[in-house]
Amino acid sequence: MLGRAISVLALLGWLLSVGPAWAWLPKQDERFDVQFVTPFNLVRGVDVVELDLFESTADQLEALKARGARTVCYINAGIWENWRADARDYPPTALGRNYSGWPNARWLDIRALDQLKPILRKRLELCRSKGFDGVDFGNVDGYANRTGFALDAKAQLAFNRWLAAEARERKLAVGLKNSLELVPDLVDAFDFAIAESCFSQGRCEALLPFRKAGKAVYVIEYTNQRRKMERHCAEAKDLGFQLIFKTKSLNGKLHGRCS
């Protein structure tokens, strides 16, 4: 009986590690696009569209689903933004240094998880109620930045794993944004990966554990220079990653994608 119980526990552990079988999971060959700034381009021929949680509407998601596209909501989990509807819900003691280039955005003390949990859970509920299929959490690498708090990798891993578990509990496919140094520790907890500028930084190989686990990797580079695009496309092909080229504002414009 003990041996059978151990086998059952091992099976459950394996199922948790490979992700939720009942949820949609992004595929590597599904054409990806990301747009945070309105007006959105909702007629582009892509399979997966990431939109900002607060800027998108349920009607827009219905229109995308009607043509067969899957949708991912963007939640800025590691940064407080004063223009968000729930900005006042954040405790002042959890607000740290300004996020570089954004005077109205500040890093969060992710160690204050008990205070952040209700806020982030509400965001996830909004994501699900609007009809999104997945979620991408932004700025989940505070430990590697000047946040104003003594964050370390242990605290970051705990925060990121909690986010992933909450997303999966709501049957949302969950993506890891950047956080390349933590990929080996987080690949089992997340269902796909999204990275920004990793080719221009020479760091994309860190995402290979996702591909080895059969999980999709989508990369965004912010350039429209033809030589750079051609070089990065060759690199993406070698690694088996999907690569698109966008403007830094992440509006509806698409500079191109690798064939």
pLDDT of residue 3: 46
Confidence class for position 23, pLDDT limits 50, 70, 90: confident
Q: E strands, 28-86, where?
A: 32-35, 48-52, 70-76, 79-81
Please report, for the domain that includes residue 127, its CATH number. 3.20.20.70
pTM: 0.90
pLDDT digits (tens, 9 = 90+) for 190-232: 999 999 999 999 999 999 999 999 999 999 999 999 999 999 9
Half-sphere exposure (Cβ direction) of 48: Cα atoms closer than 13 Å: 25
Task: Establish if 10 belongs to a structural domain.
Answer: no
Task: Establish if 244 belongs to a structural domain.
Answer: yes
CB 47 within 8 A of CB 69: yes
Task: Establish if 210 belongs to a structural domain.
Answer: yes
Task: Establish if 15 belongs to a structural domain.
Answer: no
pLDDT digits (tens, 9 = 90+) for 53-97: 999 999 999 999 999 999 999 999 999 999 999 999 999 999 999
What are the helix (H) ranges across the chain? 2-18, 58-66, 113-130, 153-169, 183-186, 208-212, 226-239
Q: Which domain holds residue 106?
A: 20-257
Whether cis (ω within 30° of 0) applies to the bond prior to 91 is: no
Please count the structural domains in the chain: 1
